[in-house]
Chain A
Amino acid sequence: MSSNCDAIVLGAGIVGAACAMELAHAGMSVTVVEPGVIGGGATAAGMGHIVVMDDSPAQLAFTHYSQQLWHVLAPQLPPAAEYETPGTIWVAADEVEMQEVARKQSIYVTRGLPVRVLDSHALLHEEPHLRPGLAGGLLVSSDAVLYPPVAADYLLQQALSSGASLIRQAALQAGEGKACLANGDILSSPRIINALGAAAPSLAPGLPVHPRKGHLVITDRAPGFVRHQLVELGYVRSAGSGTADSVAFNVQPRKTGQVLIGSSRQYNAHDKSVDHQILQRMMQQTRRYMPGIDKLSVLRTWTGFRAATPDKLPLIGPHPADPTLFLATGHEGLGITTALATGKLIRHILTGSGSEIPVEPYLPARAFHPTTETAHA
């Protein structure tokens, strides 16, 4: 079988689903190709923190824009998407990290974000289970939390009700206007979007995207134990490190009353199984900030793979070596937050519709060195 459509989206994680929705809303005929459970990849593993981050101006613009899109969409999300706006507290352990609080505050204020600096006392008032003696923190009250697989499914359903179709197959090859599926079918389209998350290089050899493994732990219900998403500011150092394995204190209140606990980052770990050593490091780090967590009951642990790029920005737009191939991957630890903005940028790039933020910082060409380009052209 061979069929033709305006655009093919490979992968129905939250990013693929958002792209499919935008393109279908733009009136394109869209085919989504996904062999597994909708949102069953990194999307099911992620924490679902919709967070504004400022590692770079491009990251700040992108996360802020996408968070605003989530705020607008929120009333339409089904209750099972568990959308809430508990806000984030960036926790500062000491005076050095309090300087980071001040720096962050000034940046967030210029973007009009609702922020408040907390001193040691105010921090404990907001989060009584934190260890006393922490220096303070920055409360960003617009940050949200959702349950990603249900949100991804909602986005896909929007695409399907605007005429998109879904094929439950794996793609084996993509390029030159064709996608070959595992069942032998060939789909043709002048626009093929690779939204495979960490698996993106499997259909785009040479792509500078690498899996970065993360572990999560979830507890039984303990309503009110944590009230905001809490992230240590040391996280900035840990997430920034490009090669070493790292852990950070990062806990999230779920709408169910459960506490979701991250986070770890590992390179060169390709095995899905739980790595006890890093899990233990991560849990020890959590106890250091929140000793009272010791008595909560852990129900489950799991792992997921973030799609990491060298400059920590996603790859969104045309593949430099194939004009029919487009990329929507490399979202690292922010793909839930930035899925909606990714959909908008893909729509802009494919249809020429206006864009509210510049696309240049995210275009894939920047990440392809001339040597790799010729090698795979």
Chain B
Amino acid sequence: MRNRNEYTYDVLVIGGGPAGIAAACAAAPHARVAIVDENPALGGQIWRNSFPARQSHPSGPWHNRLQQTQATRLHGLRVFDAPAFNTLHAEAPDGLHILRYNKLILATGARERFLPFPGWTLRNVIGAGGLQAMVKSGLPVAGKRIVVAGSGPLLLAVAAFLKSHGAQVVAVCEQAPPRQLAHFATSIVAYPSKISQAVQYRTQLAAVPYRIGWWPVTAHGKSQVESVTLTNGARRLTLDCDFLACGFHLVPNTELPALLGCSLHNGFVAVDSLQQASVPNVFCAGEITGIGGLDKSLIEGSIAGYASTGQNSPARKLFAKRNKALGFAAAMERAFAPRPELRRLPAPQTTVCRCEDVAHELLQQHDSWRSAKLHTRCGMGPCQGRVCGAATEFLYGWPGESIRPPILPVRFDTLAEAEKPTAQH
């Protein structure tokens, strides 16, 4: 029999994005620290495949800083359960890993929100961040016509990225009303780094139309998307494309904090000034406490890392910067809030739950997520509502259901806490 993988750390960080990396860097000089991520490498969403990167890349200094610590990196481990006091279970290709901790820092990030509209399940209609990740893993897009639509600053980042990879970005369409966005643009004057980033994207996308107040209503095509019709409420416009990159801002990955019993507020984990959640010894940082982008994740991660090892004064030194980042996050939350018209996008037959193929008209008959789930199988497939949950919450106003282990699909023997026999020849 193979040994079980069991570890104990003073500080265990879950999530290897900017927030988790910053937390590990801050805590590691004072404690035995491990940082865990499900991907083959650290970096999270924004630094995927660029950690390590060139020194000039923003991730460079963080990579060096982490290198200089003794922090253990555990890649390819998906945390799926919290079965006992101060214990997490994770799955890796070699089976179960048991992770024990004194302090836990959760930095599990965010995912894209998908909203259903006719044609959204066609091939090559892909999340904006999702398409970016596929290109980073080798999908060629040179010469492909791509419409980027939906909501959030991610659209511009992805459009600029796709263009730099040779794609022909046909248009970037942001659903937020122009007035709402203008207000946001004025408010970010307080955040010079954001402005320079926005200016940089706009320069890169000089020839690409940026249509504010436009949203997709139908994707057309036989087996894969061939064109998309967009509207601004008054006019319609159909654009030919090979890909539709479409996501409606981000929603936090709160399954693990919820499983641990952390209180949520408006869908995000509630934390105090030291990033402590309502459950003792649990700290949360980054997108799970509010969508705020890179700066907020790095600052909150640092505060959580310091606070988890009792370094309260360096933590406090970051409060002012964090408050600023929180102001930006709040402005962003208002600016990119989905407009009510998006609730009317799905046609009666439009699929809302892709795993179980459940149509809008079936779901409309229910008054709660649980009722819909039990009677239509919505959210019962492999994604367990991670995709359609955000859509049903927005479309029908249903809050999500209680969280139960496993929070991610996991092999039977891993959940059974079974020891695997060593390979026999």
State the A residues within 8 Å of B (CB). Answer: 37-40, 44, 80, 149-150, 153, 217, 219-220, 256, 273-274, 276, 279-280, 283-284, 286-287, 293-302
Across the interface, A294 reaches (CB within 8 A) one of B371, B375, B418, namely: B418
Known contacts A39-B374, A280-B417; A296/B384 CB under 8 A:
no
Across the interface, B370 reaches (CB within 8 A) one of A37, A219, A274, A300, namely: A37
Q: Decide: B416 and A37 in contact? CB cutoff 8 A.
A: no
Q: Decide: B411 and A294 in contact? CB cutoff 8 A.
A: yes
Residues of the B chain whose Cβ atoms lie less than 8 Å from the Cβ of A279: 415
Output the least CB separation between B121 and chain A (Å): 18
Closest-by-CB residue of A relative to B81 is A276
Closest-by-CB residue of B relative to A272 is B402
Sample 21 A-B pairs with CB under 8 A, ordered by A number: A37-B370, A37-B371, A39-B374, A40-B374, A44-B374, A220-B382, A256-B377, A276-B405, A280-B416, A284-B416, A287-B413, A294-B416, A295-B412, A296-B411, A296-B412, A297-B411, A297-B412, A298-B410, A299-B381, A299-B382, A300-B406
Instruction: Give Cα A268–Cα B410 distance, bound, in whole angstroms.
Output: 29
B158-195 vs A: 1/0 string, CB under 8 Å?
A: 00000000000000000000000000000000000000
Residues of the B chain whose Cβ atoms lie less than 8 Å from the Cβ of A295: 411-413
Q: Decide: B374 and A301 in contact? CB cutoff 8 A.
A: no
Instruction: Give Cα A297–Cα B410 distance, bound, in whole angstroms.
Output: 5
Output the least CB separation between B209 and chain A (Å): 43
Q: In chain B, residues 404-425, which have Cβ atoms closer than 8 Å to a Cβ of chain A?
A: 404-406, 409-413, 415-418, 420
Does B368 sit at the interface, judged by CB under 8 A?
yes
Closest-by-CB residue of A relative to B407 is A300
Known: A80-B376, A295-B411, A300-B384. 12 other contacts (CB 8 A): A150-B375, A274-B405, A283-B415, A286-B416, A293-B412, A294-B418, A297-B411, A298-B410, A298-B411, A300-B406, A301-B404, A301-B406
Instruction: Give Cα A246–Cα B112 distance, bound, in whole angstroms.
Output: 43
Closest-by-CB residue of B relative to A261 is B412
Does B84 sit at the interface, judged by CB under 8 A?
yes
Instruction: Give Cα A80–Cα B374 distance, bound, in whole angstroms.
Output: 11
Across the interface, B374 reaches (CB within 8 A) one of A37, A276, A299, namely: A37
Does B83 sit at the interface, judged by CB under 8 A?
yes
Output the least CB separation between A137 and chain B (Å): 22
Output the least CB separation between A288 and chain B (Å): 11
Which among B380, B410, B412, B413 has the highest number of chain A CB atoms within 10 Å?
Answer: B412
Q: Decide: B409 and A299 in contact? CB cutoff 8 A.
A: yes
Instruction: Give Cα A104–Cα B415 distance, bound, in whole angstroms.
Output: 35
B342-385 vs A: 1/0 string, CB under 8 Å?
A: 00000000000000000000000000101100111100111010
Instruction: Give Cα A354–Cα B409 distance, bound, in whole angstroms.
Output: 51
Residues of the B chain whose Cβ atoms lie less than 8 Å from the Cβ of A39: 374
Known contacts A37-B371, A37-B374, A39-B374; A287/B416 CB under 8 A:
yes
Output the least CB separation between A62 and chain B (Å): 26
Q: Decide: B413 and A294 in contact? CB cutoff 8 A.
A: yes
10 nearest A-B pairs in the assembled complex, by CB-CB distance: A283-B416, A294-B413, A276-B83, A149-B374, A37-B371, A297-B409, A296-B412, A298-B415, A44-B374, A293-B412
Instruction: Give Cα A150–Cα B410 distance, bound, in whole angstroms.
Output: 27
Q: Decide: A220 and B418 in contact? CB cutoff 8 A.
A: no
Q: In chain B, residues 379-406, which have Cβ atoms closer than 8 Å to a Cβ of chain A?
A: 380-382, 384, 404-406
Q: Decide: B374 and A294 in contact? CB cutoff 8 A.
A: no
Q: Decide: B411 and A300 in contact? CB cutoff 8 A.
A: no
Q: Decide: B375 and A298 in contact? CB cutoff 8 A.
A: no
Closest-by-CB residue of A relative to B82 is A276
Output the least CB separation between A314 and chain B (Å): 24
Instruction: Give Cα A276–Cα B410 distance, bound, in whole angstroms.
Output: 15
Instruction: Give Cα A362–Cα B368 distance, bound, in whole angstroms.
Output: 36
Which among B81, B377, B381, B416 has the highest number of chain A CB atoms within 10 Å?
Answer: B416
Residues of the A chain whose Cβ atoms lie less than 8 Å from the Cβ of B84: 276
Instruction: Give Cα A293–Cα B404 distance, bound, in whole angstroms.
Output: 21
Q: Decide: A283 and B404 in contact? CB cutoff 8 A.
A: no
B186-220 vs A: 1/0 string, CB under 8 Å?
A: 00000000000000000000000000000000000
Residues of the B chain whose Cβ atoms lie less than 8 Å from the Cβ of A283: 412, 415-416, 418
Instruction: Give Cα A286–Cα B409 distance, bound, in whole angstroms.
Output: 18
Closest-by-CB residue of B relative to A284 is B416
Q: Decide: A300 and B368 in contact? CB cutoff 8 A.
A: no
Across the interface, B404 reaches (CB within 8 A) one of A40, A153, A220, A274, namely: A274
Closest-by-CB residue of A relative to B371 is A37
Across the interface, B418 reaches (CB within 8 A) one of A256, A284, A296, namely: A284
Instruction: Give Cα A274–Cα B384 distance, bound, in whole angstroms.
Output: 17
Residues of the B chain whose Cβ atoms lie less than 8 Å from the Cβ of A302: 404
Output the least CB separation between A196 and chain B (Å): 18
Residues of the B chain whose Cβ atoms lie less than 8 Å from the Cβ of A80: 375-377
Instruction: Give Cα A220–Cα B81 distance, bound, in whole angstroms.
Output: 18
Residues of the B chain whose Cβ atoms lie less than 8 Å from the Cβ of A300: 380, 384, 404, 406
Instruction: Give Cα A287–Cα B421 distance, bound, in whole angstroms.
Output: 13
Residues of the A chain whose Cβ atoms lie less than 8 Å from the Cβ of B406: 298-301
Output the least CB separation between A256 and chain B (Å): 8
Instruction: Give Cα A220–Cα B368 distance, bound, in whole angstroms.
Output: 24
Residues of the A chain whose Cβ atoms lie less than 8 Å from the Cβ of B371: 37-38, 40
Residues of the B chain whose Cβ atoms lie less than 8 Å from the Cβ of A280: 416-417
Output the least CB separation between B406 and chain A (Å): 6
Residues of the A chain whose Cβ atoms lie less than 8 Å from the Cβ of B376: 80
Closest-by-CB residue of A relative to B410 is A298
Known contacts A37-B374, A40-B374, A301-B406; A294/B384 CB under 8 A:
no
Residues of the B chain whose Cβ atoms lie less than 8 Å from the Cβ of A298: 406, 409-412, 415
Instruction: Give Cα A150–Cα B368 distance, bound, in whole angstroms.
Output: 15
Instruction: Give Cα A39–Cα B412 distance, bound, in whole angstroms.
Output: 28
Residues of the B chain whose Cβ atoms lie less than 8 Å from the Cβ of A44: 374
Q: Decide: A297 and B382 in contact? CB cutoff 8 A.
A: yes
Residues of the A chain whose Cβ atoms lie less than 8 Å from the Cβ of B405: 274, 276, 301
Instruction: Give Cα A175–Cα B405 distance, bound, in whole angstroms.
Output: 41
Output the least CB separation between A84 and chain B (Å): 16
Known contacts A276-B83, A297-B410; A287/B370 CB under 8 A:
no
Residues of the B chain whose Cβ atoms lie less than 8 Å from the Cβ of A287: 412-413, 416, 418
Residues of the A chain whose Cβ atoms lie less than 8 Å from the Cβ of B370: 37, 40
Residues of the B chain whose Cβ atoms lie less than 8 Å from the Cβ of A37: 368, 370-371, 374-375
Residues of the A chain whose Cβ atoms lie less than 8 Å from the Cβ of B411: 294-298
Output the least CB separation between B306 and chain A (Å): 33
Output the least CB separation between B308 and chain A (Å): 26
Instruction: Give Cα A279–Cα B412 distance, bound, in whole angstroms.
Output: 11
Output the least CB separation between B77 and chain A (Å): 17
Instruction: Give Cα A301–Cα B370 distance, bound, in whole angstroms.
Output: 15
B62-103 vs A: 1/0 string, CB under 8 Å?
A: 000000000000000000010110000000000000000000
Residues of the A chain whose Cβ atoms lie less than 8 Å from the Cβ of B410: 297-298
Instruction: Give Cα A159–Cα B192 distance, bound, in whole angstroms.
Output: 66
Residues of the B chain whose Cβ atoms lie less than 8 Å from the Cβ of A276: 81, 83-84, 405
Closest-by-CB residue of B relative to A294 is B413
Instruction: Give Cα A284–Cα B83 distance, bound, in whole angstroms.
Output: 16
Residues of the A chain whose Cβ atoms lie less than 8 Å from the Cβ of B415: 217, 279, 283, 298, 301
Instruction: Give Cα A298–Cα B416 distance, bound, in whole angstroms.
Output: 10
